Chains A and B, each alone.
Chain A
Amino acid sequence: DVKVTQSSRYLVKRTGEKVFLECVQDMDHENMFWYRQDPGLGLRLIYFSYDVKMKEKGDIPEGYSVSREKKERFSLILESASTNQTSMYLCASTRTDEAFFGQGTRLTVV
């Protein structure tokens, strides 16, 4: 059974903290994505990676960075968390005919 695993289901962090969200996939996919999901806005692409150490900005990259040191792992980094980054974060890896999602991380910044 194919899997995308996100390290945490729920996180509470303080404003200004550096936050790491981890995502691991076991399908040997080259392409991995980070989205955030907010009510009424659907899924918005933050960053994606098409190979190890390669990354591209999505639609809303401000305040975020990413790291892809190994093919199976794609990390999202909030350099200095702010309350407007409170959201559901979804990681996905894709092949041409399907996107596979993790279960999501609900992040609250207080």
Chain B
Amino acid sequence: GNSVTQMEGPVTLSEEAFLTINCTYTATGYPSLFWYVQYPGEGLQLLLKATKADDKGSNKGFEATYRKETTSFHLEKGSVQVSDSAVYFCALSRHNFNKFYFGSGTKLNVKP
């Protein structure tokens, strides 16, 4: 089946620290991979995506590389800001009805 596993939170960092949030997936075939972010009181919004192996998605200083050999899509940022505090969801999509499968979410708290 299809599933996504991501590291449990919360993750608490000081401003300007390096961020890694781990994500691994199980899927048949070749899924597309995504990171979504949810700010307090809001819905989810797309942060970045990668559609094939070795692709790197990037946005707002965040990066993730699609690693087929390790079935992973870890999120990284070199220097986090207080405004990055949010919940981050890793997800994959398959072409059957464009269905998305989400991880459980990782809450990030960044302290000044």
Please report A residues at the B interface, Cβ cutoff 8 Å: 4, 31, 33, 35, 40-43, 45, 48, 50, 56, 90, 92, 94-99, 101-104
Contact = CB atoms under 8 A, between A and B. Distances in A.
Contacts of B89: 42-43
Contacts of A45: 99
A103 B43 contact: yes
Contacts of B44: 43, 90, 92, 99, 101
Interface string B22-53: 00000000001010100001111110010100
A50 B46 contact: no
Contacts of A96: 32, 93, 95, 98
Interface string B68-112: 000000000000000000000101010101111011110000000
A97 B34 CA distance: 9
A31 B104 CA distance: 22
9 contacts: A31-B98, A42-B104, A48-B97, A50-B97, A96-B95, A97-B49, A99-B36, A99-B46, A101-B44
B99 A40 contact: no
A1 to B, nearest CB: 12
B49 A41 contact: no
A8 B10 CA distance: 29
A101 B45 contact: yes
A92 B99 CA distance: 10
B98 A42 contact: no
A42 B102 contact: yes
B100 A94 contact: yes
Contacts of A4: 43
Given A40-B104, A97-B49, A103 B98 contact: no
Contacts of B34: 98-99
A36 to B, nearest CB: 12
